[in-house]
Amino acid sequence: MPERLDAFMARANAAYYATHDPFADFTTAPEISQMFGELIGAWAAVTWASMGAPAPLILVEAGPGRGTLMRDMLRATARVAPDFRAACHVHFIETSPRLRAVQAAAVPDAVWHECLDHLPAGPAILLANEFLDALPIRQFVRRHGGWMERFVAAGCFVEQPAVVAWQAPQGSIIELGEAAAAWVGGVAARLAAQGGAALILDYGTAEGSPGDSLQALRSGAPADPIAAPGTADLTAHVDFAAARRHAEAAGAAVWGPVRQGAFLTRLGLRHRAAALARANPGRAAEFADAAERLSAPSRMGALFKVLALSQPGLPMPPGFAA
């Protein structure tokens, strides 16, 4: 039986995250530098104040990996925004038992959930860094006779007729990130009803379907995405235009997407790198290099985008521009 690409991707990634250390295959912004978590901690503390400083605050991270972003946020805010830190109840959305154990070592007082619906009620700040790119996608190909959808059968791509009516030249590929869009819609509905804000960071496009962006990393190298399911990390670019539409339809206010380079620069990345270099002169080059990796357009600064959602009526959050 051919398996639709999104079902294949969901199954392959669940097996991959349950059995592998993904950080052997790729690195992420919080793993590059503590500055990432420190700046996002400042973002969360300022946003919390703009919400009226509710206590308790449900602080949620989806797909927290090694727990590094949350650990760095909590450490930094305990020092510079102790009231915020004291209000936080930390919740993780994570399906991999293996990664839950790693996260527990970094953030011992977190509470784990399988999905968004299981979180406790109340005002919340949600974070997701490189989470949406792991969610399953569908792909459609325009052929001579009409649109076909991609399935996987016996280790190969096969196509079956699809009932869609887009206009595009022959050979075009359209990707649909339905799971990511639905997740963003669910977050937006929660924020509109119960208050709070969300920050979503990932690689992707601001202008619509990314075309064929499915990629696989096996042992750190690009690999065939459908060979040996469960042995490679499968990702796709996030369609931030679709995320915006779903968030607005669900009643949230939306800012961005803006480029990660501009976002982190507005939050003070350069100043933070300089301050850390002054305090640790022997590591000055390391902090400068990390700031460059996170923000230069040729590194992560342009491909990665940042989208914020909030309850209606909050001021524009830090890092965005009118």
Q: How many residues bind to ligand SAH according to rule CB under 6 A?
A: 19
Residue from 65, 185, 301, 317 in contact with ligand SAH (CB under 6 A):
65
What CA–CA distance (Å, rounded) separates 141 from 118? 36
How many whole angstroms separate alpha carbon 46 and alpha carbon 39? 11
238 binds ligand SAH (CB under 6 A): no
In terms of CB distance, is 209 or 235 closer to ligand SAH?
235
Task: Please compute, for residue 76, the number of CA atoms within 13 A of its CA located in the half-sphere on the CB side.
Answer: 20
Nearer residue to ligand SAH within complex by CB, 8 or 147: 8
CB of residue 306 to ligand SAH, shortest distance in Å = 13
Angle, to 10 degrees, between the axis of helix 68-80 and the axis of helix 97-106? 20
225 contributes a contact to ligand SAH by CB under 6 A: no
Shortest approach of ligand SAH to residue 24 CB, angstroms? 12
Based on the shown chain and the rule CB under 6 A, indicate whether residue 177 belongs to the binding site for ligand SAH.
Answer: no
Contact between 128 and 97 (Cβ < 8 Å)? no
Is residue 37 part of the contact set for ligand SAH (CB under 6 A)?
no
Does a cis peptide bond (omega within 30 degrees of 0) precede residue 56? yes
Q: Is the dihedral of CA 200, 300, 208, 225 positive or negative?
A: negative
Nearer to ligand SAH, 133 or 175 (CB): 133
Least separation in angstroms between CB 146 and ligand SAH = 32
Q: Which of the residues 131 through 160 are near ligand SAH (CB under 6 A)?
A: 131, 134
Give the Cα separation of 101 and 212 in Å (integer). Answer: 34
Query: Is residue 63 close enough to count as binding ligand SAH by CB under 6 A?
Result: yes
Decide if residue 310 touches ligand SAH (CB under 6 A).
no
**Of the candidates 258, 124, 118, 145, which has an alpha carbon nearest to the alpha carbon of residue 191?**
124
Strands 88-93 and 57-62: parallel
Taking CB under 6 A as the rule, does residue 34 contact ligand SAH?
Answer: no
Rounded distance, CA 131 to CA 115, Å? 13
Whole-Å CA distances, 106 to 33, 57, 66, 71, 73 = 15, 20, 7, 6, 12
Angle between helices 269-279 and 34-50 (to 10 degrees): 130
Say which residues have a Cβ less than 8 Å from residue 18's Cβ, sequence separation at least 6. Answer: 95, 96, 97, 98
Stretch touching ligand SAH by CB under 6 A, among 64-72, 117-125, 154-162, 256-264: 64-72
Could you say whether residue 181 binds ligand SAH (CB under 6 A)?
A: no
For residue 116, give both structure tokens: 């968004």
Q: Least separation, in Å, of the C-beta of 36 and ligand SAH?
A: 9
- Residue in the structure block whose two tokens are 């991959």: 16
Interacting residues of 279 by C-beta distance below 8 A, sequence separation 6+: none
Binding to ligand SAH in span 102-131, by CB under 6 A? 129-131
Which residue in 93, 141, 200, 276 binds ligand SAH (CB under 6 A)? 93
Locus of tokens 């104040």 = 49
Site for ligand SAH in 242-271 (CB under 6 A): none
Residue in 60, 70, 99, 306 binding ligand SAH, rule: CB under 6 A = 99
Among 8, 20, 25, 28, binds ligand SAH (CB under 6 A): 28
- Nearer of residues 127 and 247 to ligand SAH, judged by Cβ: 127
Query: Is residue 64 at the binding interface for ligand SAH, with CB under 6 A as the rule?
Result: yes
- Specify whether the CB–CB gap between 32 and 252 falls below 8 A: no
Out of 94, 149, 175, 239, which residue is the one contacting ligand SAH (CB under 6 A)? 94
Residues that bind ligand SAH (CB under 6 A): 13, 17, 22, 28, 30-31, 63-65, 69, 93-96, 99, 129-131, 134
